[in-house]
Amino acid sequence: MPARPLSRICYVEDDEDIQRIVRMSLERLGKMTVELVGDPFAAIDAILAFKPDLVMLDWMMPGMDGPTLFKKLREHPQIKDIPVVFITAKASSAEMDQLRALGAAGAISKPFSPKDLPEQLRAIWGALP
Amino acid sequence: MNRPSAVIEQSAVSAAPAGPFVAAPDAADRKHVLAERVELLYRQSALGIIATILVATVATAELWYDQYKQLVIFWWITALLIGAARFAVEVAYRRRKDDDPEKWLRWFAIGALAAGVNWGFAGSVFFPSRSDEQQVFVAFLLAGMASGGIPLLSSAWWIYALYAGGILIPFAYVLGTYGARLFTELAILVPVLYAANVAIAFRLDRVFASGLRLRHAYGRLAQDHEALNHQLEGQINELMDAHREVAASGRKLALFAERAPIAVLEMDANATILDVNPAAETLFGYASTELIGRSVLHMLFSRDKHGTIDEAWWGRFAAAAQPASAFQVPCIRRDGLELVCEFSFTPLVNDESKLLSVIAQGRDVTQQLEAERIKREFTSTLSHELRTPLTSIIGSLQLLQSGVFGDMDKDVVELITVAERNGERLLDLINDLLDIEKIESGKFTLVPEALSLDDLVRESLVLNQAFAERFGVKLDVPAELPRVQVYADRKRLLQVLTNLLSNAAKFSPRGLSVEVGLAVQGDTVRVDVQDRGPGIPEEFRGRIFSRFAQADSTVTRQKGGTGLGLAICKRLIELMDGKIGFADRAGGGTRFFFELPVHREAA
């Protein structure tokens, strides 16, 4: 378990409504700082600038999907150690297993409950080595 | 289809040694030869009788004139009677109905002996009383009669011995007792003559016997030959029939291939095309003459596509010579269009397992695969596109309800609750529809693991307690549950339990309990969920596990639910090798249950 509490989250998601809900949930209920990125191609620069504790990725995005972006993050020397959690509407257990096999720290299925989201993320954070 | 094998069996049977080829036993052989001897004797019998009567008549005339007239007449009449008797025997033989040559031989021997003895009587009575000339005549007569019998009787030497003995033994006795030295010497020579004649008769008998045997053997050979010919003719006819049948079934097969909507190609072991049917011509856009003699791997199968069949694959297939089916092979049509064809390859091998040719049957599955892909994509898109807005809707409502924005008007909270509940209902419906679609298209995969069913039951109660409380219902489970393991998909089993518990809660009267039980019976474990609800209406029982089955459409509005829950439960439990059912509960209400096989870990 990491020594510091989870406080800085970068969320890569193209849907603005969901962006807003996640921001409200994490900031208002979870008391965390959230950086939102709408364009997956801008994600690496944003992450380098923001230095988040944890990155949340949407699975389906225009231009570049979550798994592709995830691989790029893994290959980046300054980003590769930041844990990544997927938020996905793909719900089958096989797909969830596939995500974990990629090296994701966790997966949260859509629709998620904004009431529970901060706790879910903290649980994943707490389970990290 | 059974006929050709029947033909083969028949020829196998007729090729086995049949009657004519079995060697006749010696006894039957001897009997046949004996019958031929008897026939030969009787055939010459008339000649013997006539000659005897003629000679006897001439002798009677010669010996007639003196005091022995009565005796001569008596002798002549006796010779005539014997002749008549022998003739009667011959007639009887000709008309015989039995098959007993020995009997007829005996009768013939009696006749011959009688004739011989009659001549012996003539010799012994007339010889002493005659003049010298007449004595020479009698002696000549007797010698002639004795010798003349050889050709007629020697096909049975012992009959000749009886006949000649009847003539010569009394005559030798008369000569020996006559008193003259010359006659005494002759009396010694007569037995020598007799012995010599019998010896000749014996030799002739042997010659006759071997001749007859030879003739008989030849007859049998001819008979066998005829039987063999007959049999060969039968086999040729059978072969012709079989040939006609093979030709007919060949024509039938050719017709099948020609009319079949499936492309049929015949290749040799090197993948060179030998023949194609019209459907193959249509499918690939080539005329059969363009395809025959070319390699199927180069002409039809796409060379640079994943999953194609190449020389290496074909080499392995030809070496194994085992049928291979349901291969999706990328193919190229004459006009360059890419197709995916599903092929089955059937090797034709001979008795020595040598590959003669390969029959490939294929059909175009390009459109089918495309349709499946579109359906998958649609399902996936539907899932994503419906869930994304729902995420926003439900998320927003939940945030409002969470109280982070301060206190709200009671009516507003109530409306937000309604909106959220219905949003979740919509989400349930989408999830259920996706589940049932996956299950029914066979794309549904379970992730089974060994798990404690008693723990899972307790967990499901905790998860559904809040839902039950909304209906004022308590979920009850005994404090002690039997420890039991099942091999099942945890998430899906929880889904089934949740479904049964929420159904029971929805239909239970307020203030009562839903009782959950767990029982192990042998290799099966059963989970019961019992309520005190109104029970299942009679007319609904038959389709309770069908899709969109709800007893009454008003129920959906009152209680919620998609009408897919139990249909999904049934399919999930069946996928886990279990069964699901329901029964009336004593005292009112319904008992739903499912059973799963108990999992016992290998020690």
Query: What does the pLDDT average to over A76-82?
Result: 91
CB contact under 8 A, A89 and B395: no
Q: Which residue of B has its CA nearest to A13?
A: B388
Structure confidence at residue B598 (pLDDT):
94
Q: Calculate what percentage of chain B has a pLDDT beyond 70.
A: 92
What count of other Cβ atoms lies within 10 Å of the Cβ of residue A74? Answer: 14
**Cβ count near B431 (within 10 Å):** 18
Taking alpha carbons only, the member of B297, B250, B244, B241 closest to residue B270 is B297
Q: Is the pLDDT reported for residue B132 higher than 50?
A: yes
pLDDT at B525 over 70: yes
Q: A125 pLDDT exceeds 60?
A: yes
Q: Is B380 exposed, middle or buried (0-12, 13-18, 19+ CB in 10 A)?
A: middle
Q: B428: distance to nearest CA of chain A, Å? A: 11
DSSP E strands in B338-492: the ranges are 338-349, 355-364, 448-452, 474-476, 485-489
| Cα–Cα distance for residue pair B406/B586, rounded to 1 Å | 51
Q: Which pairs with CB-CB distance under 8 Å and at least 24 residues apart come from A42-50?
A: A43/A10, A43/A12, A43/A69, A43/A73, A44/A72, A44/A73, A44/A76, A44/A79, A46/A10, A47/A10, A47/A73, A47/A79, A47/A82, A48/A78, A48/A79, A50/A8, A50/A10
Least CA distance to A112: which residue of chain B?
B391
Minimal CA separation from B358 to chain A, in Å: 40
Task: Give me the sign of the Cα torsion angle B393, B394, B399, B401.
Answer: positive
pLDDT of residue B569: 93
What are the sequence ranges of the domains in chain A?
A: 8-127
Confidence of residue B9 (pLDDT cuts 50, 70, 90): very low
What local confidence, expressed as pLDDT, does residue B252 receive?
86
pLDDT given at position A92: 60
Alpha-carbon gap: B518 to the closest alpha carbon of chain A (Å): 27
Contacts (Cβ under 8 Å, ≥6 apart) of B391? A18, A21, A89, A110, A111, A112
Going by pLDDT thresholds of 50, 70 and 90, the confidence category of residue B447 is confident
- How many other CB atoms sit within 10 Å of the CB of residue B347? 19
Contact in structure between B376 and B347 (CB atoms under 8 Å): no
pLDDT at B24: 47
Asked if B491 lies within 8 A of A93 by C-beta distance, the reply is: yes
Mean pLDDT of the B559-583 span:
86
Look at the alpha carbons of A12, A14, A16, A18 in this order and tell me if their dihedral is positive or negative.
Answer: negative
Under an 8 A CB cutoff, do A18 and B398 touch? no
What is the side-by-side order of every strand in the sheet holding B474-476? Answer: B474-476, B513-521, B524-530, B590-597, B579-584
Please give the Cα distance from A107 to A85 (Å, whole number).
Answer: 5
- Domain ranges across chain B: 26-227, 261-364, 373-440, 448-597
> Would the CA dihedral through A8, A13, A18, A19 be positive or negative?
positive
> Is the pLDDT reported for residue B139 higher than 50?
yes
Q: What is the mean pLDDT of residues A84-108?
A: 77
What ipTM describes this predicted complex?
0.82
Q: According to the model, what pLDDT value does residue B595 have?
A: 95
List the end-to-end C-alpha distance of chain B, in Å, as a whole number. 54
pLDDT of B7:
39
pLDDT of B352 higher than 70: yes
Taking the C-alpha atoms of residue A65 and residue A76, their distance in angstroms, rounded to an integer, is 17
Using the predicted structure, report yes or no on whether residue B561 has a pLDDT greater than 70: no
**Which DSSP category does A25 fall into?**
I
- Where residue B539 falls (left for φ over 0; alpha for ψ -120 to 50; beta otherwise) is alpha
- In angstroms, rounded to a whole number, what is the distance separating the alpha carbons of residues B172 and B195? 13
Q: What angle do CA A72, A73, A79 make, to 5 degrees?
A: 145
The whole-number average pLDDT for the span B389-408 is 86
Distance from the Cα of residue A27 to its chain's centroid: 15
Backbone angle region of B550, left / alpha / beta, with phi > 0 → left and psi within -120 to 50 → alpha: beta
Hey, is the C-beta of A60 within 8 angstroms of any chain B C-beta? yes
Query: Based on the number of CB atoms within 10 Å of its own CB, is B53 exposed (0-12), middle (13-18) or buried (19 or more)?
Result: middle
Closest Cα in chain B, distance from residue A103 (Å): 20
In chain A, residues with a C-beta closer than 8 Å to the C-beta of B491 are 93
Partner residue facing A111 (CB), from B391, B447, B489 = B391
> What mean pLDDT is predicted for residues B199-204?
90
Find the Cα–Cα–Cα–Cα dihedral B300, B303, B306, B308, rounded to 10°.
Answer: 40
Q: What is the pLDDT of residue B113?
A: 92
User: What band does B516 get if pLDDT is binned at 50, 70 and 90?
Assistant: very high
Beta strands in B263-323 (DSSP E): 263-267, 273-276
Contacts with A70 (C-beta within 8 Å, 6 or more apart), sequence order:
A57, A84, A86, A102, A103, A104
DSSP-H helix ranges across B154-180: 157-177
- B7 neighbors B15 (Cβ within 8 angstroms): no
The pLDDT score that the predictor gives to residue A107 is 85
A17 touches chain B (CB under 8 A): yes
CA neighbours closer than 13 Å in the CB half-sphere of residue B451: 19
CB contact under 8 A, A112 and B391: yes
Query: Is residue B495 predicted with pLDDT exceeding 50?
Result: yes
- Predicted confidence band of residue B5 (pLDDT cuts 50, 70, 90): very low
Q: Is B399 in contact with A112 (Cβ distance < 8 A)?
A: no
Mean pLDDT, chain B, rounded, equals 85
Peptide bond into A83 cis (omega under 30): no
Predicted pLDDT at B66: 66
Helices (H), A1-129: 16-24, 43-50, 66-75, 93-102, 117-127
Among candidates B383, B392, B445 on the partner chain, residue whose Cβ is nearest the Cβ of A18 = B392
Contacts of B445 (CB under 8 A, 6+ apart): A92, A94
H helix or E strand, kind and range, residue B377: helix B366-401
Check residue B1 and give its pLDDT: 40
The lowest-confidence range among B51-60, B251-260, B357-366 is B251-260
Arithmetic mean of pLDDT over chain A: 87
Say yes or no for a CB contact (<8 Å) between B399 and A115: yes
3-state SS, residue B90: helix
Instruction: Please check the confidence at residue B244 and state whether its pLDDT lies above 60.
Output: yes
Strands A54-58 and A84-88: parallel
Strand order in the sheet with A33-37: A33-37, A8-12, A54-58, A84-88, A106-109
Q: Measured between beta carbons, which residues in chain A are less than 8 angstroms from residue B389? A: 17
Q: Does domain B261-364 have CATH number 3.40.50.300?
A: no
Q: Answer for the pair A95, A66: CB distance below 8 angstroms, yes or no.
A: no
Which secondary-structure segment (H or E) carries B515?
strand B513-521
What is the percent of chain B where pLDDT is above 90? 31
Average of per-residue pLDDT across B192-208: 89
Report yes or no: B539 and B559 within 8 Å, Cβ to Cβ.
Answer: no
In residues, how long is chain B? 603
Beta-carbon contacts of A58 under 8 Å, excluding residues fewer than 6 positions away, are A12, A13, A14, A15, A18, A66, A86, A87, A88
CA distances (Å), A128 to each of A58, A104, B326, in order?
20, 11, 47
Confidence grade of residue B16 (pLDDT, cut at 50, 70, 90): very low
pLDDT of A101 reads 79
Cα–Cα distance between B30 and B409 in angstroms, integer? Answer: 133
Query: Which tokens is B574 given?
Result: 């069946």
Residue ranges of alpha helices (H) inside B402-452 are 410-440
Q: If you ran DSSP here, which 8-state letter would residue B522 be given?
A: T
Contacts of A112 in chain B (CB under 8 A): 391, 395
CB of B533 within 8 A of CB of B509? yes
pLDDT at B555 over 70: no
Helix (H) and strand (E) counts in chain B: 17, 12
pLDDT beyond 60 at B267: yes
Q: Which residues from B are below 8 Å from A24, CB to CB?
A: 399, 404
Helix (H) or strand (E) holding B520: strand B513-521
Q: Pairing mode, if any, of strands B324-332 and B338-349?
A: antiparallel
pLDDT of residue B13: 40
B327 against A26, higher pLDDT: A26
Average pLDDT, integer, range A18-28: 92
Task: State whether the Cα torsion B420-B424-B427-B429 is positive or negative.
Answer: negative
Range with lowest mean pLDDT among A74-78, B365-369, B400-404:
B400-404
User: pLDDT tens across B294-345, in order?
Assistant: 998 888 888 776 767 888 888 888 888 888 888 888 888 889 888 899 999 9
Structure-token pair, residue B198:
């019998």
Hey, which residues 479-508 in chain B have their CB within 8 Å of chain A?
Answer: 489, 491
Res. B587: pLDDT tops 90? no
CA atoms of B519 and B49, how far apart (whole Å)? 117
Q: What is the DSSP letter of B23?
A: P
Residue A115: is it exposed, middle or buried by C-beta count within 10 angstroms (0-12/13-18/19+)?
middle
Return the residue matching tokens 């219902």. B473
Nearest-CA residue of chain A relative to B382? A89
Cβ-defined contact of B395 to A18 (cutoff 8 Å)? yes
pLDDT above 80 for B49: yes
Pick among 3.30.750.80, 3.30.565.10, 3.30.70.1140, 1.10.3860.10: CATH of B448-597: 3.30.565.10
Which of B182-196, B370-384, B499-513 bottoms out in mean pLDDT, i.e. has the lowest?
Answer: B370-384
One-letter identity of residue A104 = A
CATH tag, A8-127: 3.40.50.2300
